[in-house]
Structure 1
Amino acid sequence: MGSSAYSPLDRFVRANPYRKTGIRRKKHERLHSAEDEPEVPQLCWLAVKIIGMRNLRKADLLSHTDCYVKLWMPTASCQEAQTKTVNNCRNPVWNETFHFIIQREVKNILELTICDKDTCTSDDQLLTVRFDVAKIQPGEKVCLNFELNPESQEELEVEFLLENIPGVSENIITNGVLVSREVSSLEVHVNETNMKSPYTRRDFTFTVKGSYEETQDVSIDCRQGSSETARFHYVKHSQPRLHMTLPKECSFCGHHSARRQMDLSSPLAVSLHSLDLSKKVTVMRGESYEVSVKEEDGCQNLDLRLGFDLCAEEQDFISKRKKVVAAALKRVLHLDEDLQEDEQVPVVAVMTTAGGVRSMTAMCGSLLALQELGILDCVSYMTGLSATTWTMAKLYEDPYWSQNDLRGPLGDIKEHVTKSKLHCFSLDHMKYYEKELCERKQEGHKLSFTDLWGLFIDCMLHHQGSTHKLSDQQLAVNQGQNPLPMYLCLNVKDDFSTLDFKEWVEFTPYEVGFLKYGAFVRSEDFGSEFFMGHLMKKIPESHICFLEGTWSNIFSQNFMDAVYLTGHSEDFWHRWTRGTEHDIEEHPALPKKPHEQTTCLSIPRGCLSNTLREMLTERPVVSTYHNFLKGLQLHNKYLENESFCMWKDTVLDSSPNQLNEMGDYLKLIDTAFFINTSCPPIVRPERKVDVILHLNYSGGSQTLPLDLFSDYCLEHGIPFPSTELSQEDREHLKECYVFEDSLEAPILAYFPLVCDTFQKYKAPNVKRGPTEMEQGRVDVSNCVGPYSTALLTYSEENFNKLLNLCHYNILNNKNLILQALRTAVQRKKRSKNCSSAQSSKCS
């Protein structure tokens, strides 16, 4: 836009380096149609003409609306555009055109927001139309009428024109869900040109919206003829604008060569995409300084991994671990011959549930029994959430913990569980907490109350502060000597119920990442600042105690979580937490393609509804970390990606402009407040888990976590065995159930936390004597009893009872576990034989 003799498309072409390849365009040359192009170019020029509205609704009762339209397409530009305001008119006409450079490989959603201009208060947003630009084909000019309210015949008329930009391409990296685009680096140079200036110092502020840096301040010393440079990283083809707040004096804009008096204490914007930035360009010159810019290629290789497959380190671990597992299975199953590691060794996983110190203690008993049976060496993965992560983090401080007698480290855990926690509030510890939090803030982490909670956990479990980190656990798996630990939490959004927005985030010693997006960063880089997949600012890795505070954040529950976990209907409350959105039609109807999204109309709720929504969805505390997805964009066909669809379950999955790629921070909470399970990482199809040992330590209903996750898998098409239990079983649970059905689903051995035969037997087939009966009375059914989730300290007697109960329940069901393992081995052999027969038949 502006007064240039060239059209916006011409200015873009003139300013881009493809001209060096010998391609030329005549002024006002018509672009080729889509049929003329052998391949659809990646970059296109989109012209959006806001024509007008008919039968516009009133914003208030006093007058017609003073209406304007805001346009926002974050994949093309981070800056909103808007039309002029038409006052007091029911049928406003604008006829204003706006231009966007779009990358057709990404999902471009144009948001058109109808606003009412207010003088005394903030402007009202009446409605928003979300339109998928993929509906428009290159070479087409389409005029559409959006039906906003068919009853009142309220319509918005918009014209679209999409043109290819010939010869201009962009290198992108994608996994079919997320797209990393080319990044440019803009250097802004400020030079002092007049050493006789009466000023001793000049202060400048530069802003490039949508860049990683966003805003930078520069100061120069006028007496020494100094120069300073600010640098910005941004998407190369995003129509960047440089906003400058400069000293006040007589100046002229370099690229317009027009001298004029300006008050430069207010921001001045310079459009950069119209300039040839391959060489240094002066954009502003004052009496004693000049500002020039130059663009260079930005970051090249990604510092995160886009892909749904397992990372190379985990694949190497599995290869090594299968040797250990093969030998262990031969021993425990008394096999006559060795298992072939690649094809006959099943993948076994142990998963746990939350439950405070109860789950921490119970897990100790379960692992001790699995070690005694020789089954622990058959396990390749171990997953935890909430307080079971405390046990895991403690164990993995020893690189060979599963190869040593567990009674040693479990004795240490017992010492910490049974001692008073009052020492955690001593003056010395308070000073230590303050020192650690100050250091953490100085390193660049964003503090939250969960960081203090993590330090408290560390104090509970260690005699002195622990410096262990998640990446340190690589030493415990580098030879395949222990199961690979995996930790789980949820990423959430403000003002959304967990029912409406949640994203699984898994942590391993190698990587941290999102199951839904297939995006992972190295564990040592989690918490650092990223942009478009590139590491921009390295922040020291967090001590694992801070992650424990995140994984077991007992302060993150909101009202809706509580209603959901009680098993009562949340429909009444849930409707107050949702916005008003519905699909609308546009005329004429455009041909539909599978990956195109329907046009959506969103109407903001009133003040009362928003207040109630905040009350219902407000979380007291969330853990806040820098968003390593920042800047990444969604692929145009992301909703067709099978891996994404497996995990998509939020109301925003079809609203890419509102997903987390735009956010600065992740907001992480305890998984237990949605489903008390750590199963998602081990049902990823890439891990090919054959047997799951489901160790349940939840309070209250022992079947609710299993029921919820079974329903979740059924809804999302995730292979999982049917877990139907009879009413009698639900009322009188046994110690172990084995579920098995289709070959695609893993075998599930489910251990509810019950005190069944343990009341009469102190060991399998060893009855209790009259004086030992009291040791068999363990009240785990009452969630407010001696094993309440809120209790942080147990008596030594209660600790021993719970430890022995879980130890016994595993030992007493040895045969069921071995049968599940034997079935898995037979399955693998049959699968291998079928594959061999099929190969022979084909040959």
Structure 2
Amino acid sequence: MSYKPWAAKDNISLAILKYERFKQFMVCVFNTDETFIDDFTSYCMDGLWFGGGGFLELELLTELSGDEISCRPGVHNGLGYNWTCCSRASEHCNRNPLQSSTRPENGAGREVGTREEAEFVEVKPSVRMQMQSLASKQARRKHRNLERMQDHSSVRIEHSLNKKEEKFVARRRKKIQKSLNKLNIPCSDENKVPNIALLGSGGGERAMVGLLGSLDQLQKAGLLDCVLYLSGVSGSTWCMASLYQEPDWSTKLETVKDKIVQRLSGPAVSWGDAFYKLMQYLFQTLSDPKKLNLTYFWAAMVVTTYVKEIDERTLSGQWDQKSKDPFPIYTVIDKQCKQNNDGDPWFEFTPCEAGYSVIGAFVKTSKFGSQFENGRKIKNQPEIDMLYLQALCGSAIADGDFNEKMLWEQIKGTTDVDLQKLWIWGRNYNFLYGMKDEAVPDALQESETRDYIDAGVLLNSPYFSVLREERDIDLIISLDFSEGDPFMTVKEAAEMCKKLNISFPEVNIPNGHSEKPKDFYVFKGQNTPTVIHIPLFNVANCGGEVNIKQWWKEYTTFQGPYSAEKITKLMEFAGQNITNNKDNLLEEIRLATKKKL
């Protein structure tokens, strides 16, 4: 790795610490006598450097000539990340941007909140970065204008696909066309293949394991390569997060499945590691208390007990545009929109964008959580990691309409604490704050922050993520792992779509099927997508009504992590719903294809 000299003001030198994880850099400024002046954080975006505070005074640019400066591999800073030190950082960079404390000048000693000593790498004293004054005010103006363009391009308000998603869909259709031909479903035009969405409902670890078992059998049946979108709620997103750690997981699902099952059947994340992760999350909020919320605790101390890992990757970072897998969509809801019954509660995360599915307002996924005003980013924040995203998606307890009241009843009279002030979940900066756009409801433009929680508390299946008109879905395969009424999600989806004037088939359930559901239902309508509904426990894989109830008792939502035996058994039951209905699925895919030709 190497860097060229940078331009700035006279008689000042720089030392740069590269924060590998988020493309984030810490810049330390020194006088010519080597005394420390200041430090600040900057970010690299498309070849340009941006930052705050003193950084804008220095106006660093990249297109300059000069000798390259070698940089050696970085150090462990005690928080699990790697740095790269340039210039005389080993001698002078005593500050850690993630810590408020300073290090002794000799580089030794233990920093607050760390578990091990951090040592800076040795860098030759002769290595320096010289800086010069900027050529003109015109260069400064151009630099600021480019910065504004980058900020504004992060927010998009329109009913269309993101360009990257659009390109992926075009590539994926070629794979779907080949898959259809292998299944003896003729399709000569890749632009005429049906758009198929596979949905995984919520249901905690039951949904996580059930979705994995279902996907395994879809792959073995040759049907998985027909799927364009994979969307999940709550526990299903835990499965998705595990799968997409592996590039092209759908091409090696047997191996990936065994790896996931082995992890889920193995030891839990240690309490020390979980608590350490919580401290990392909380430290991030020290400089920004507005983002402090209970989801950090939920992620580190609860979600890790089920997924049995601390996944610090990011959604945008782990995605490859040439992926051979279905396009992933993770879903949550806007809590204030749900409670106040205004705006658009349906919120989605994809590798490209995060935003409101119904009104069509999006921000780059890597910028979700950054502070915006009137569509312009005013304070950058690192992208949320996958553990936190799984906690957002799987946080049914965060629903204040029920759980807050229940807990308040239990502690009422024992404390003077106002639970409402503490019951904050999924709080992040609102990228629509201060905007003046008629397409965006006023409520979404007026608040600086919004709270995001488990979508299952409103609808336990991610229908609205795939019902966006621009996604043009022809066939929805809904795998329902919900506890309770086996038809609640599809019935509520139909009712909500009717109110929102979104095309959805009528849902009529035969008498007695709520107690003894079958394993395969199809709902169709004129100018609507076809919806296949598959309840997890049914008369086909369980037997009679008594057996169905027994299985539900064994796999209730709120219980501890499953044993290896329970995981294996549940995967088999979920998989049977696919193997028993392979011909039915093929027929509906064939009809959807025929309808497009």
Q: TM-score, normalised by structure 2?
A: 0.68
1:490 is aligned to 333
Superimposed CA distance per residue, residues 489-517 of structure 1 (whole angstroms, 9 cap, x where no aligned partner): 111229x7365665211110000111243
Superimposed CA distance per residue, residues 228-281 of structure 1 (whole angstroms, 9 cap, x where no aligned partner): 99xxxxxxxxxxxxxxxxxxxxxxxxxxxxxxxxxxxxxxxxxxxxxxxxxxxx
1:753 aligns with 2:521: no
1:375 aligns with 2:223: yes
Q: Which amino acid aligns with 1:407?
A: E
* Equivalences, count: 444
1:827 is aligned to 595
Change (3 A) 1:618 1:713: farther
1:703 aligns with 2:487: yes
1:809 is aligned to 577
Alignment of 1:761-776 (within 5 A): none
1:467 aligns with 2:312: yes
2: CA distance, partners of 1:540 / 1:444: 15
Give 1:217 shift. Answer: 12
1:435 aligns with 2:283: no
1:363 is aligned to 211
2:448 is aligned to 664
2: CA distance, partners of 1:485 / 1:217: 37
Larger Rg: 1
3-state DSSP class of the match of 2:481?
coil
1: CA distance, partners of 2:285 / 2:437: 32
- Greater helix content: 2
Q: In the alignment, is the contact (CA less than 8 A) between 1:357 and 1:792 conserved in 2?
A: no
Give 1:433 shift. Answer: 2.6
Alignment of 1:80-159 (within 5 A): none
2:46 is aligned to none
Question: In structure 2, which of residues 137, 149, 156 is the aligned counterpart of residue 305 of structure 1?
Answer: 156
1:737 aligns with 2:521: yes
Give 1:786 shift. Answer: 2.0
Q: In the alignment, is the contact (CA less than 8 A) between 1:445 and 1:527 conserved in 2?
A: no
Give 1:472 shift. Answer: 2.0
Work out the percentage of aligned pairs sharing the same amino acid: 26
2:262 is aligned to 415
Q: In the alignment, is the contact (CA less than 8 A) between 1:783 and 1:789 conserved in 2?
A: no
Q: In the alignment, is the contact (CA less than 8 A) between 1:354 and 1:387 conserved in 2?
A: yes
Question: In structure 2, which of residues 144, 164, 167 is the aligned counterpart of residue 316 of structure 1?
Answer: 167
2: CA distance, partners of 1:790 / 1:808: 24
Q: Which amino acid aligns with 1:506?
A: E
Q: Which amino acid aligns with 1:681?
A: S
Change (3 A) 1:619 1:727: farther
Q: In the alignment, is the contact (CA less than 8 A) between 1:416 and 1:460 conserved in 2?
A: no
2: CA distance, partners of 1:820 / 1:320: 23
Which blocks of at least 5 consecutive residues in structure 1 are unaligned?
Answer: 1-215, 219-227, 230-295, 564-613, 639-643, 645-652, 761-775, 830-843
Q: Which amino acid aligns with 1:339?
A: S
2: CA distance, partners of 1:664 / 1:368: 43
1:631 is aligned to 434
3-state DSSP class of the match of 1:520?
strand
2:366 is aligned to 524
2:40 is aligned to none
1:328 is aligned to 179
2:512 is aligned to 728
Q: In the alignment, is the contact (CA less than 8 A) between 2:334 and 2:451 conserved in 1?
A: yes
Give 1:431 shift. Answer: 3.2
1: CA distance, partners of 2:403 / 2:304: 29
1:818 aligns with 2:586: yes
1:350 is aligned to 198
Q: In the alignment, is the contact (CA less than 8 A) between 2:344 and 2:356 conserved in 1?
A: no
2: CA distance, partners of 1:401 / 1:686: 27
2: CA distance, partners of 1:812 / 1:509: 33
1: CA distance, partners of 2:509 / 2:345: 29
Change (3 A) 1:740 1:463: closer
Give 1:555 shift. Answer: 2.3
3-state DSSP class of the match of 2:518?
coil
Give 1:556 shift. Answer: 1.0
1:509 aligns with 2:509: no
Give 1:729 shift. Answer: 2.6
Give 1:800 shift. Answer: 1.6
3-state DSSP class of the match of 2:504?
coil
1:446 aligns with 2:291: yes
Give 1:731 shift. Answer: 3.2
1:719 is aligned to 503
Q: In the alignment, is the contact (CA less than 8 A) between 1:557 and 1:673 conserved in 2?
A: yes
3-state DSSP class of the match of 1:730?
coil
2: CA distance, partners of 1:367 / 1:539: 35
Moved more, 307-316 or 619-628: 619-628
RMSD between aligned residues: 3.1
3-state DSSP class of the match of 2:171?
helix
3-state DSSP class of the match of 1:820?
helix
3-state DSSP class of the match of 2:450?
strand
Q: Which amino acid aligns with 1:622?
A: W
1:278 is aligned to none
Give 1:320 shift. Answer: 0.1
Q: In the alignment, is the contact (CA less than 8 A) between 1:350 and 1:382 conserved in 2?
A: yes
Give 1:455 shift. Answer: 2.3
Superimposed CA distance per residue, residues 607-650 of structure 1 (whole angstroms, 9 cap, x where no aligned partner): xxxxxxx99x9893421111111110232xx4xxxxx7xxxxxx
Give 1:810 shift. Answer: 0.7
1: CA distance, partners of 2:583 / 2:533: 14
3-state DSSP class of the match of 1:729?
coil
2: CA distance, partners of 1:559 / 1:523: 28
Q: Which amino acid aligns with 2:361?
A: A
Which blocks of at least 5 consecutive residues in structure 2 are unaligned?
Answer: 1-51, 58-143, 406-417
Superimposed CA distance per residue, residues 137-183 of structure 1 (whole angstroms, 9 cap, x where no aligned partner): xxxxxxxxxxxxxxxxxxxxxxxxxxxxxxxxxxxxxxxxxxxxxxx
Q: In the alignment, is the contact (CA less than 8 A) between 1:356 and 1:792 conserved in 2?
A: no
Q: In the alignment, is the contact (CA less than 8 A) between 2:275 and 2:300 conserved in 1?
A: no
2: CA distance, partners of 1:383 / 1:509: 12
Give 1:685 shift. Answer: 0.7
Give 1:758 shift. Answer: 2.5
Question: In structure 1, which of residues 382, 387, 390 is the aligned counterpart of residue 238 of structure 2?
Answer: 390
Q: Which amino acid aligns with 2:339?
A: S
1:339 is aligned to 188
Change (3 A) 1:555 1:732: closer
Q: In the alignment, is the contact (CA less than 8 A) between 1:416 and 1:461 conserved in 2?
A: no
1:399 aligns with 2:247: yes
Q: Which amino acid aligns with 1:741?
A: G
Give 1:525 shift. Answer: 0.9
Change (3 A) 1:627 1:726: same
- Greater strand content: 1
Q: In the alignment, is the contact (CA less than 8 A) between 2:315 and 2:386 conserved in 1?
A: yes
Q: In the alignment, is the contact (CA less than 8 A) between 1:318 and 1:480 conserved in 2?
A: no
Q: Which amino acid aligns with 1:487?
A: Y
1: CA distance, partners of 2:516 / 2:283: 52
1:686 is aligned to 470
3-state DSSP class of the match of 2:291?
coil
Q: In the alignment, is the contact (CA less than 8 A) between 1:370 and 1:810 conserved in 2?
A: yes
Q: In the alignment, is the contact (CA less than 8 A) between 1:414 and 1:799 conserved in 2?
A: yes
Change (3 A) 1:462 1:720: closer
2: CA distance, partners of 1:550 / 1:785: 26
1:553 aligns with 2:395: yes
Q: In the alignment, is the contact (CA less than 8 A) between 2:156 and 2:363 conserved in 1?
A: yes
3-state DSSP class of the match of 2:378?
strand
Change (3 A) 1:518 1:534: same
Give 1:704 shift. Answer: 1.0
